Structure 1
Amino acid sequence: MVAPAPAQRVRQVVEPAVAEVGLLLEDVEVTRAGAHSVVRVVVDVPEDDEGELDLDRVAEVTRAVSDALDAQDVVAGEYTLEVSSPGVSRPLTQRRHFARAVGRSVSVRLVDGGSVSGRLTAVERGAQDADDAVVVVPVTPGLKGRRPKNGAPVRILLADVRDARVEVDLSGLGPVDDDDVAGPRADAAGQES
């Protein structure tokens, strides 16, 4: 039985291939699955890249990673390659993670034990990395169908963040009001002015 290739060696081979197609390598995992290995590669878009990690880009990076692994023969025997994005459930740990989440609902736990939940509205670059910050507008859910209330924006230094995650926002879902769909009242639709 062949031992799986160490993830660090796979990372060394894969990282230049990922960078060449303009993406960032987030994580590499190599596991054994029966008679063959599974190589999981997680890639992301750089902070300054305005594009999305769509299927075309994933296909392109998958080809590049596969070619690099085959050329270096770093994974012994047969292997399955899985290339993916970090997904919405990934923790926000770096400034670029927060930058990609601007406009989304987030939950931020602070080093001091506090927490802030709301809409991430900005990511600020400081003079030094320790000065980087995020701005979150706290949102308090409305009671019994009432609209949520927005609080005053809160500026949080990234150094003060213990962990943070994007929250699934279902606020736009729900029953559709007939007046929203029909437009002007139906009884006025046939009248001339």
Structure 2
Amino acid sequence: MSESPRPTTDIRPIQAQLFALFEPVAVSLGYELVAVELTNTFGRRTLRVSVDRPGGVIMNPLAKLSHALSALLDVEDPISGAYDLEVSSPGIERPLQRPADFAKFSGYRCRLRLDGTASRRQITGRLKGLDGDAVLIEADGQPHSIPLAQIVRAQLQLTLDEYESLAESSPPRPDPDGGSP
């Protein structure tokens, strides 16, 4: 984990602040901090923290991390008002927030939701890596270069086999034809 926790440029400032606050705690307990998302659904705010670790996420150690993050939030108090804290594994639609994520998962299918400055709102295809500040993706048989600044949300779209292999910390080589490896 040599790269700094620089999320994509569209992440809200509070989420970037929380990422920087949580990462040392997660690392000290053996986790990789994957994503921090603050959502508001029907007036209910939720702070979702996604973490991963070699061999997958196990409940008891995850509870320890959840308590540590909750205590840190009580002390630092970076979020005003009420919210629920959820700490979990990233799941089959793993969020991608750091530039290194796009290189790490090159070859896998992903969905990018783009801001209003992009020519389209969403693009789904196979990640081809990162070129400077742009994500390379092949969609509809065409290569695309999407500036990180235009990406509002990015998620992997893993097959069950890919997900299970990632959970075991031995990523499969993605099938270029779109099937399971």
TM bucket (normalised to shorter chain) is 0.3 to 0.5
Compute the TM-score of the two structures, normalised by the length of structure 2: 0.46
Compute the TM-score of the two structures, normalised by the length of structure 1: 0.44
Structure of greater relative contact order (alpha carbons < 8 Å, 6+ residues apart): 2
